[in-house]
Structure 1
Amino acid sequence: MSKGRFNKTLGQMKKDRVLYLLIFPTLLYFIIFRLWPIINMRLAFYDYKAFGPWEFQGFKYFELVFKSPQIKDILTNTLIISFMKYILLFPFVVLFAILLSEIRSNRFRKYVQVISFLPHFLSWVVIAGIWIAILSPYGGAVNEVLSIFNLPSVDFMTDKDSIRWVLLFSEAWRSIGWDSIIYFAAIISISPSIYEAAKIDGANRFNIVKYIVIPALVIPMVTMFILNLGFFLNAGFDQVLNFTNDAVNSRIDILDTYIYRLGIINGQYSLGTAVGVLKGIVGVFLVLVTHITSKKLTGTGVW
């Protein structure tokens, strides 16, 4: 860069200094919580020492991860819960967007949008409290309904067969409205002239959805599906941490809670980092494979 161009750029930055001050907290956040952790992923190959130089250990901690007797069950739990959240729930997000677009009353649609979006802004602490109260065997709404039909009370929060479904339904309640925004936006961007031409040709609502709406959603669906696969091993640390207890921990203990126990609770920073690195590598691999497959089959990918 020439000196004149550099001075011009510097002058423009001084002119826009208020804008740079506004974006500074965001940049600081990403540097501290995103960039710095990436740099320190090297900890997976070293012995951590608070004071003094770190000692290089090669793949020692990765070997310990694979030899751990817990890793098989933890990985199984992570894959099952992630499959339920990212695969089973995915079609219902798209379906909700389609149903939302079919509401004729704009006022009623706005009410539905507000109600469905609101849970997304609640913390998992609050959501867990709500669901624990609803599912309580002592006066909980669900068990009160069961008692009407003379069915036995179920303690869903300590039932190993039910707890994963509790995670799925609470995740759906929290995110299905928010996640449907991108698909709803794609639907309302369809030109009204296309709908009018379809109606003139005698198409009913089902045909319009099948031949106009769904094809318009293919690209955002493929893009979001590929991006979500990058987080496939993120089965929901905040959610699991708030819903877990000793009775069901063996069924919902996931990689993130395992890393939390290793690194934060037990102070095994290098071992916890090694698990995190492996999780990140798998995520990148899934995105690449899905992107390449999608490109070959549909001609559409993330890039």
Structure 2
Amino acid sequence: MAAAIQPEAKKAIKSSPRGRWLDYMWKYRALYFISIPGIVYFFIFKYVPLFGSVIAFQDYNIFKGFTGSEWVGLKHFKTMFEHYDFLRILNNTILLGLYDLFIAFPAPIVLALLLNELRLVLYKRVLQTVVYMPHFLSWVIISGIAIGILSPSTGILNKALSLFGIDPIYFLGENSYIRTILIGSGIWRDTGYGTIIYLAALAGINPDLYEAAEVDGASRWRQTLSITLPSLLPTIMILFLLHIGKFLDLGFERVYVFLNPLNTENGEILDTYIYKVGLLSQQYSYTTAVGLFKSLVGLMLIVIGNVFSKKTTGESLY
């Protein structure tokens, strides 16, 4: 009788959620194996440092360590919101985040739609390669290119303006231009590379839908509105949710290479502020509080955005 029950027990175990999960992992063991380096990287450099967030609630002393430093509660968070520089820099970061969200984020979608309309395969591949290339340039190189173009004495842009009788403009030396330069350089660098996911999603759209639309007399514009964009919506929403999580995280290198004493009023962001105050002034507890604030805002935006997306489009991260 025990022998008869044993196969049934094995079958029940296998059909349980845990059993199915183990079977799935074994089936795709090769993929899980090659993902190990990525998991290790994120564990060491993303999760382990979370334990250091405790110093945001301490007057941290590097000689006393975590256990010996004095606990001060929310002191550094209070100081953060009372500091004029922090409020100014937070305002800069929010404005740049909004520009990035409403201008830079849609740019790869528009470019992917344009590339998808090309019918000459060779030309399409060459153009894709050209627009992908800037992504692999470092921000130091990109800043050098921008300085060369925007230079008041030798820059191409000022040379062109002089043809119309306009005096040279020191673009990188004026607060009014720095935000445009930061967003514009980001669009130039990352728009092409950002089209990869959208082009993959476009390739997965059933061509029969377009054929049926053509039979019904739909124009290319109508096909884009009625077929292409609705088919892209799940991909757009997932990437949008991931993007808003980095709303206050614009990237240290991207901004730092363009900063100088003449444009910091509008150009300095939280990342460069953390570097200046934390590493150069050694206020570790205060800047950890600023970093923790950034993380909490990002988490809150993802949760709110996920709920909104799930209710309106049915797409969500979890």
Aligned to 1:215: 230
Alignment of 1:87-106 (within 5 A): 87-106=102-121
How big is the alpha-carbon RMSD for the aligned residues of Structure 1 and Structure 2? 2.0
Aligned to 2:295: 280
The answer to whether structure 1 residue 57 and structure 2 residue 72 are counterparts is yes
Residue aligned with 1:162, SS:
helix
Alignment of 1:4-153 (within 5 A): 26-52=38-64, 53-153=68-168
Q: Deviations over 1:224-277 (max 9, x none)?
A: 111111100012211110000000001011111111112111111110100000
Shift of 1:28: 4.5
Shift of 1:301: 1.9
Shift of 1:206: 1.2
Shift of 1:188: 1.3
Q: Deviations over 1:198-218 (max 9, x none)?
A: 112212211111111111111
Give distance in 1, aligned partners of 2:39 and 2:309.
33
Give distance in 2, aligned partners of 1:278 and 1:122.
31
Shift of 1:222: 1.3
Residue aligned with 1:112, SS:
helix
Shift of 1:148: 2.0
Shift of 1:154: 1.2
Give distance in 1, aligned partners of 2:290 and 2:248.
11
TM-score normalised according to structure 1 size: 0.90
Residue aligned with 2:277, SS:
helix
State the one-letter code of the partner of 1:236: G
More off after superposition, 50-59 vs 275-284:
50-59
Which runs of no fewer than 5 residues in structure 2 stay unpaired? Answer: 1-21
Shift of 1:32: 3.1
Residue aligned with 2:167, SS:
coil
TM-score normalised according to structure 2 size: 0.86
The answer to whether structure 1 residue 170 and structure 2 residue 216 are counterparts is no
Aligned to 2:279: 264
Q: Deviations over 1:109-154 (max 9, x none)?
A: 1111111111111111111111111111112111111122222211
Aligned length: 288
Give distance in 1, aligned partners of 2:234 and 2:70.
48
Q: Deviations over 1:73-108 (max 9, x none)?
A: 111100011111122222222111100101111111
Q: Deviations over 1:126-185 (max 9, x none)?
A: 111111111111121111111222222111111211111011110000011111211111
The answer to whether structure 1 residue 252 and structure 2 residue 267 are counterparts is yes
Residue aligned with 2:257, SS:
helix
Give distance in 1, aligned partners of 2:79 and 2:203.
52
State the one-letter code of the partner of 2:123: F
State the one-letter code of the partner of 2:110: L
State the one-letter code of the partner of 1:88: I
Give distance in 1, aligned partners of 2:154 and 2:79.
46
Give distance in 2, aligned partners of 1:44 and 1:174.
35
- Which aligned segments of 4 or more residues in structure 1 are displaced greater than 4 angstroms? 22-28
State which of 179, 183, 199 in structure 2 corresponds to 1:184: 199
Compare CA radii of gyration and give the structure with the larger one.
2
State which of 225, 230, 234 in structure 1 corresponds to 2:240: 225
More off after superposition, 212-221 vs 32-41:
32-41
